[in-house]
Chains A and B, each alone.
Chain A
Amino acid sequence: MRNPSTRIGFLVGTMAAAALVACGGERIPPKQLVDARSEFQQAKTGIAMQLDPTDVHVADLALQQAEQAWGSDPEDPNTLDLAVIAQRKAQIAEAEAAYMKAQQDADQAKQQLEATMSSQLQATRGKLSATQQSLSQTQADLQRKQQEAAEQQKKLADLEAKLKDARDTIAKIAAVKDDDRGMVITLQGEVLFQVGKWELKAGAMAKLDQIAEALRGKEQPMVVLGFTDSTGTRDNNMALSQNRANAVREYLVQRGIPQDLITAQGKGPDSPISDNNSVEGRAANRRVEIVVQPKKS
């Protein structure tokens, strides 16, 4: 590095050299030349020699020129300039090598960055593609389910319409009501059976034919419940109501109601719907109920 102290160094160096020459001793090289030699050695043995040998060679030539000048005319101020120039040439070689090294590092980092980004882009594209595929699948599933739901809705509407038709048909021949058990069709005992008997009357069969026709194909579970009034013993009434329920069930099965969908149960005098102390009340209590339960989903 050269600064104003260089000038002082020059004077001191020159005086020292002159003194040595005068004394006949060996001359001490000026600081500028010493620095130039040191800087050149650094360039020659460092990265500069690998990356920028041309500038190192230029520095070598400059140093040789400075050495030659010092050898031939150490007192010439231009000699020190040549030493300074030699040092600067060596520094230039080192700076240029540092530039080249930085260029290599930057290029390498940029290449790696490009490769990394390319890889990430590829991975992102892959994920996007998978997501799109999944989305397409989901959309297809959704469309299919919507279609299925629409079909189910249509079936349900058809079923409800049929049920309404059936209900309307049945309502013409029997009492129909809805409670928490489902649709309840109530037939009076006198309409179906003779007193104390469980064989179906001919007129009863005609009514049950219409009921079977209306309920056929609904695929809804049904329970036939037999009821009596409170006259007579409980055991007799339980047996009579069970036999009457069975008779109605068997007839409905014969008329096309699936036997696995229909059961029968005698309830005897339990669950009266009217007063057993009057003739009308007992007549109302003697009945058969066909409970059409909601379809299990």
Chain B
Amino acid sequence: MRIAVVTLFLVGTVACGASLPPPNTEWAEANNDVGKAEAGGAPSVPDAKLHLQLAQEDLQKSKELINQDNRRASSLVAVARAEAQLALSLAKAQQKQAEARSAQEALQKTKGGQ
């Protein structure tokens, strides 16, 4: 009886997941976010690089699940997007902080030269 219920549950779940449309548009958007993070300098910022790698891994996994488990694939795509967006934000922040430090150093140097 228990086996039958579990089997029915699993079949239902798979059937329900597979019945969702494949998240192709979302996947493309997430892939686009990964591209933005790469272009935004994430590969050269350690923290950002780690989240970029996680985003790429999730994207890869979700790609494998599309048309098999679209619900799970959609969830992984959403995680990949969040990782990619965080990678970009961290890279931007790091670069801007470096710019601020540089401006402050230039200011001190100029004041020192007075």
Interface residues of A (CB under 8 A from B): 1-3, 77-78, 81-82, 84-85, 88-89, 91-92, 95-96, 98-99, 102-103, 105-106, 109-110, 112-113, 116-117, 120
Within 8 Å of chain A (Cβ to Cβ): is B103? yes
Whether A109 and B78, one on each chain, are in contact in the complex, defined by CB atoms closer than 8 angstroms, is no
Known contacts A99-B92, A103-B96: A112-B107 contact under CB 8 Å: yes
- In whole angstroms, how far apart are the Cα atoms of A141 and B30 in the complex? 79
Residue on A nearest B17 in the bound complex, by CB: A78
B 13-57 binary contact with A (CB < 8 Å = 1; else 0): 000000000000000000000000000000000000011001000
Whether B103 and A78, one on each chain, are in contact in the complex, defined by CB atoms closer than 8 angstroms, is no
- In whole angstroms, how far apart are the Cα atoms of A85 and B107 in the complex? 40
B79, B85, B100: the one within 8 Å of A106 (CB): B100
Within 8 Å of chain A (Cβ to Cβ): is B106? yes
Contact partners of B104 in chain A: CB under 8 A: 105, 109
Determine the interface band of chain B, counting residues with CB < 8 A from chain A.
Answer: 20 to 34
Contact partners of B92 in chain A: CB under 8 A: 95, 99
Whether A116 and B111, one on each chain, are in contact in the complex, defined by CB atoms closer than 8 angstroms, is yes
Whether B110 and A116, one on each chain, are in contact in the complex, defined by CB atoms closer than 8 angstroms, is yes
- In whole angstroms, how far apart are the Cα atoms of A2 and B111 in the complex? 45
Q: List 14 A-B contacts (CB under 8 A).
A: A81-B76, A85-B78, A91-B86, A96-B93, A98-B93, A99-B93, A102-B100, A103-B96, A105-B104, A109-B104, A112-B107, A113-B103, A113-B106, A120-B110
- In whole angstroms, how far apart are the Cα atoms of A287 and B107 in the complex? 90
A1, A84, A102, A113: the one within 8 Å of B79 (CB): A84
Contact partners of A84 in chain B: CB under 8 A: 79, 82
Contact partners of A3 in chain B: CB under 8 A: 54
Q: How many A-B residue pairs have CB under 8 A?
A: 80
Whether B96 and A102, one on each chain, are in contact in the complex, defined by CB atoms closer than 8 angstroms, is yes
- In whole angstroms, how far apart are the Cα atoms of A2 and B99 in the complex? 29
Within 8 Å of chain A (Cβ to Cβ): is B7? no
B75, B82, B83, B89: the one within 8 Å of A78 (CB): B75
The binding surface of chain A is classed by DSSP as helix
Known contacts A85-B82, A106-B96: A96-B107 contact under CB 8 Å: no
Whether B75 and A81, one on each chain, are in contact in the complex, defined by CB atoms closer than 8 angstroms, is yes
Whether B110 and A106, one on each chain, are in contact in the complex, defined by CB atoms closer than 8 angstroms, is no
CB interface residues, B 65-114, toward A, < 8 Å: 71-72, 75-76, 78-79, 82-83, 85-86, 89-90, 92-93, 96-97, 99-100, 103-104, 106-107, 110-111, 113-114
Most buried by B among A91, A95, A109: A95
Residue on B nearest A4 in the bound complex, by CB: B57
- In whole angstroms, how far apart are the Cα atoms of A63 and B90 in the complex? 20
Q: A95-B92, A116-B110 are in contact. List 8 more A-B contacts (CB 8 A).
A: A3-B54, A85-B78, A92-B82, A92-B86, A98-B97, A106-B99, A120-B110, A120-B113
A89, A99, A110: the one within 8 Å of B82 (CB): A89
Contact partners of B78 in chain A: CB under 8 A: 81, 85
User: In angstroms, how far is the closest chain B Cβ from the Cβ of A10?
Assistant: 12
- In whole angstroms, how far apart are the Cα atoms of A77 and B76 in the complex? 10
- In whole angstroms, how far apart are the Cα atoms of A78 and B104 in the complex? 45
Whether A1 and B93, one on each chain, are in contact in the complex, defined by CB atoms closer than 8 angstroms, is no
Contact partners of A116 in chain B: CB under 8 A: 107, 110-111, 114
Known contacts A106-B103, A113-B107: A99-B89 contact under CB 8 Å: yes
Residue on B nearest A98 in the bound complex, by CB: B93
